[in-house]
Amino acid sequence: MQRKAALWAVLVLSLAACKSSLPPVVGVLSAPSTPVPVAEPDPTAALRDEIDNLLLAAREAQERGDVGEAVDCRAAALERLLVAQQEGLASAEIEDMFADLIEELDTYWDSGEGSPGEVEIPEPGPVPPEAVAAARDRAEEVRFDLPVVVNPEVTSLIEYYTGPYRERFTLALERAARYLPFIREELQRAGQPLDLAYLPLIESAFNPRARSRARAQGLWQFMAGTGKLYDLRINGLVDERNDPYLATIAAVRHLGDLHSMFGDWELALAAYNSGAGRVTRAQRRGKGATDFWSLRRHLPRETRNYVPALWAALVVAKSPDAYGFPRFEERPDCLRRVPLDGAFDLEVLAEHVGVPVEQLAELNPALVHRLTPADGRYQLAVPCGQEEAYAAAAAKIPASERVRQYMHVVRKGDTPSAIARRYGSTVEAIMTANRLRNPRSLRVGQTLVVPRAPGGDLAPPRRAASARSNQPLQERPKAATSWAPGQAAGHYVVQAGDTLYDIARRHGTTVAELKRLNKLSGSRIKPGDVLVVAR
């Protein structure tokens, strides 16, 4: 947000004509050098063309490395939109064009280092015609069930994957061998092209724990809102975007919906990357064009290169010998699910089964803190043939020993030291468990994992905690439940990201019933609230 605000300030202070060959822009802060022309029959369409040309010039300048000219062009676009707004042009159209300008800020301003596992798609560069011809010849030897195109842009990205990116591409192909069989099964079940199974190559390099700057996560890089739309559970303890199997089921549904919307796989893929709204706007600006390559210039840079990147990845991945890559035998995981009622610490469970906790955590990447939720039943992934061992071990662990950590929802005034005193933990343990660097960075409503101090017991916090803001992560003895009614049968403590709809679906009830039980007039809830979910 600070970067974006800074760029807006630069744009406002730099309101100047773009130094390209575009016509001068007339605005409130600069005197016109020529008389104002007579309005076109469709002034909104004329403005659309003007803004498109300015943003296109900004992209070209940015790609040449001329940051100053790129800023000037975007400043000119901003000025023109402000003038048009004052002139009373259709507000919906103006908002649409402002959205395009914001996309430019998102795409070009953030030049910091990527997040863990983020896959960057570079800008295609020039390639000689003979390189394009050679790539086409190799692609013709492979069968694709998607409309793969080999042109200069795709050829440039093939050279990137087989050159500077070769080592990471090899690792991605090795990881892919684990997941491709399951993904193909889901695609086949949905009647979709099987080559879509390679999409995670350019999304996450087949890394289930990949995260992007935009806070997309997992093998398929779902944003939280989209993930919830496709029934992925996302809260302080569980993030099913990181489960490669559950996320695959959601991704196949999402791709199918996008294809139904656009009727074209290239446009559906572009929409998967940047959202259906951006593709729809590009279609409106394309003046009748309906194919990706005609609309490409109207899309953000990442999306313009997204489809070429997939075509390049497919050409290389499906003909590894031709490009000097090893072939990896596909060895899918054989997993089964064991139901666990209530909270379990994976470290405790792994010790009782006799396996490394890292092995169990790797099979269950959706468990953000290696803890199953205290409410309801969680389906734990375990290796085939070990279901009975895990179920028996879980049954033998006393309720008071199932976890070694608490969960705390931050309230106003909380500090790591105060939380540590309350739970008999340490500041260092809290900072490490939650990957906190600054003890002053706590946010109200944030969910923290509070580890038990070494050698400590699992007694309740030293001071009575508010029933509206905290719950332990283990089932408490009956005498201790008074300080955390969220553990009582029929109650639920709201987590960050929860909605009434999510909670109702999870507990087999309805939003209307939740409102009735909790005397709610609206749908607003906040982390830490204790809701009655059943009588």
Q: Which tens digit of pLDDT belongs to each residue from 310-354?
A: 999 999 999 999 999 999 999 999 999 999 998 899 999 999 999
Q: How confident is the model at residue 174 (pLDDT cuts 50, 70, 90)?
A: very high
Which of 5-9, 84-88, 501-505 bottoms out in mean pLDDT, i.e. has the lowest? 5-9
**Overall average pLDDT of the 513-517 stretch:** 81
Q: How many Cβ atoms sit within 10 Å of the Cβ of residue 327?
A: 9
> Is the distance from CB of 484 to CB of 472 less than 8 angstroms?
yes
Q: Which fold has domain 129-323?
A: Lysozyme (1.10.530)
Residues of the chain with CATH 3.10.350.10: 404-466
Tell me which DSSP letter residue 451 carries: E
Q: Give the integer Cα–Cα distance in Å for 122 and 236.
A: 34
Asked if pLDDT for residue 202 goes beyond 90, the answer is yes
Decide: residue 513, CB within 10 A, 0-12 exposed, 13-18 middle, 19+ buried: middle
Q: Which tens digit of pLDDT belongs to each residue from 217-231?
A: 999 999 999 999 999
Which ranges of 140-243 does DSSP label H, i.e. alpha helix? Answer: 152-162, 166-190, 200-203, 224-229
What six digits make up the tokens of 402?
């199932």
- Mean pLDDT of all residues belonging to the chain: 80
Question: What are the counts of helices (DSSP H) followed by strands (DSSP E) for the chain?
Answer: 21, 7
Helix, strand, or coil here: 367? Answer: strand
- CA-closest candidate to residue 130, choices 110, 101, 105, 155: 155
Helix, strand, or coil here: 525? Answer: coil
pLDDT of residue 532: 79
What end-to-end distance do the CA atoms of the chain give, in Å?
Answer: 45
Burial 310-322 (b: 16+ CB within 10 A, else e): bbbbbbbbbeeeb
- Does the pTM of the predicted model rise above 0.85? no
Task: State which of 34-38, 338-342, 509-513 shows the largest mean pLDDT.
Answer: 338-342
CATH architecture designation of domain 404-466: Roll (3.10)
pLDDT of residue 107: 54
Of 154 and 112, which is predicted with more confidence?
154
Q: Give the integer Cα–Cα distance in Å for 394 and 352.
A: 8
Q: Within 13 Å, how many C-alpha atoms sit on residue 23's CB side? A: 16
Positions marked active-site: 203
Which of 53-62, 110-119, 275-284, 344-353 bottoms out in mean pLDDT, i.e. has the lowest? 110-119
Which of 6-20, 285-299, 484-498, 505-519 bottoms out in mean pLDDT, i.e. has the lowest? 6-20
Residues of the chain with CATH 1.10.530.10: 129-323
